[in-house]
Copies of this chain bind each other. A is one copy, B any other.
Amino acid sequence: MIGNDIHQFAKELWPINRSITGEGVRETLERIKLHLPSLKVNSVPSGTNVFDWTVPREWSVTEAYIVTPSGERICDFNVNNLHLLGYSVPFEGEIDLSELKEHLYTLSEQPDAIPYITSYYKERWGFCLSQEQHNELTEGKYYVKIDSKLFDGVLNYAELILEGKSSKEVFISTYICHPSMANNELSGPTVVTYLAKWLSELKQRDYTYRIVFIPETIGSITYLSLHHDLMKKNVFSGFNVSCVGDDRAYSYLPSRNGTTISDKVAKHVLKNTDPTYKTYTWLDRGSEERQYCAPGIDLPIASIMRTKYGQYPEYHTSLDDLENVVTPRGLDGGYWALRRAIEAIEKNKKYKVTVLCEPQMGKRGLYPTLSTKKSNEQVRLMMNLISLCDGNSSLLDIAESLGAPVWDLYDLIDTLLSHKLVEVSE
């Protein structure tokens, strides 16, 4: 089960302190590059204007912690990088508990969870800790140390282009900007790494694949500001990959218009993988589709997920881990749903039967000699398939008409192609 390998890789990436910029992003991308040698890591300077935004300063952290009145070191960034408010400015000093509390963030409804909080666009410092730990803080002087730096540096992202027979592109995007969390971070880049490995090893690709690992929001806006014109011309399908690692549900979130080939494929794959899959609407969006499907950008990007961000209790806390939330089996399901979606896009041609009226199957040996229930169903499916190869219906359309998973048709269509009973009409 490939889910085991992906889970192992996620464990490797777990401790790295990722943010929207900084060393953690670069280290993460370098480890991904070990699997994908052609991956190209790029950087964009702080201060660059990208559409309505500006690339922010780079953030680095050496250490950060609090020492209690009794001398105990708590909220140590090196123990759990969630303890430090993302993009905290540097600070050092001794302060009262009451003043300290203005910089502490907890989740009272999940008292054992450290919340994940950032302040990218307003300067602050702060620590995140569990409500339980917060409750134990006593009066007195606290020594606070945040050795961080905000400076003009770069924003990094990585890009892998896998060329296919056609310059038409399938776009796959995932983000690498959250620290140690599993479903809403590591499931995305690890599953995409393994999808990219599979794609790069294919003997033949009909389409070109554009695969990016970027920081969320500012990363996709930056990437679009550089590549949008070309992408608008070439990208005809794609997926944003996030939250594909737990084993509790399958989910679909549409592109803005909801009727692209990506949407059709996503719904088809999920319906045939788990009929109880959950459908969200455009109004439930919250990830890169906000940029990819923005008016004027209009890329055909949908989301295939396991449990969606914001829809599970561990989301954006220290409880979103690789033990209780993300599992090998969960990652395996996420990987295969996306792989089936990509395969369906590759196979989704329009086929046309080459003879008028039904073909005489017997003379070609295409009727089974031993008639069993299974073989009868296969013959029926083949005759139905032939009857729908009208040159106007895609294989996906046909699969929907037949109420069958499109992948059940791949062998049949290959047989018909090899007997020259159908041909690709487009």
Contact = CB atoms under 8 A, between A and B. Distances in A.
Contacts of A387: 256, 282, 285, 290, 293-295
Given A121-B362, A384-B283, A294 B52 contact: no
Contact of A296 (B220, B353, B401): B353
A389 B358 CA distance: 42
Contacts of A121: 362
A390 interface: yes
A402 interface: yes
A404 to B, nearest CB: 10
A91 interface: no
A291 interface: yes
Which of A122, A291, A294 has most chain B Cβ within 10 Å?
A294
B402 A283 contact: yes
Contacts of A401: 282-283
A265 interface: no
Interface string A243-270: 0000000000000100000000000000
Interface string A357-368: 111101000000
Interface string A94-108: 000000000000000
Contacts of A291: 357-358
Contacts of A285: 387
Contacts of A403: 283
Given A290-B387, A384-B283, A387-B282, A221 B357 contact: yes
A228 interface: yes
Interface in A370-426: 384, 387-391, 401-403
B402 A355 contact: no
A18 interface: no
A355 B52 contact: yes
Contacts of A391: 295
A178 interface: no
Nearest to A222: B357
Contacts of A312: none
A53 interface: yes
Interface in A191-230: 217, 220-221, 224-225, 228
Contact of A359 (B52, B224, B360): B52
A52 B122 CA distance: 74
A356 interface: yes
Contacts of A282: 387, 401
Given A295-B390, A389-B295, A356 B51 contact: yes
Chain B CB within 10 A, most for which of A291, A296, A357:
A357
Contacts of A358: 52, 217, 221, 290-291, 294
A231 to B, nearest CB: 12
A247 B199 CA distance: 59
A295 B352 contact: yes
A360 B52 contact: yes
A295 B350 CA distance: 13
Nearest to A389: B295
Interface string A47-82: 000011100000000000000000000000000000
A44 interface: no
A297 interface: yes
Nearest to A380: B283
Contacts of A298: 390
Contacts of A353: 294-296
A361 to B, nearest CB: 9
The residue among A122, A285, A356, A360 with the most chain B CB atoms within 10 A of its own CB is A356
Contacts of A293: 387
A355 B295 CA distance: 9
The 5 lowest CB-CB distance pairs between A and B, nearest first, are A295-B390, A52-B355, A291-B357, A221-B357, A52-B359
9 contacts: A52-B358, A53-B357, A122-B362, A224-B356, A282-B387, A282-B401, A283-B384, A295-B353, A295-B389
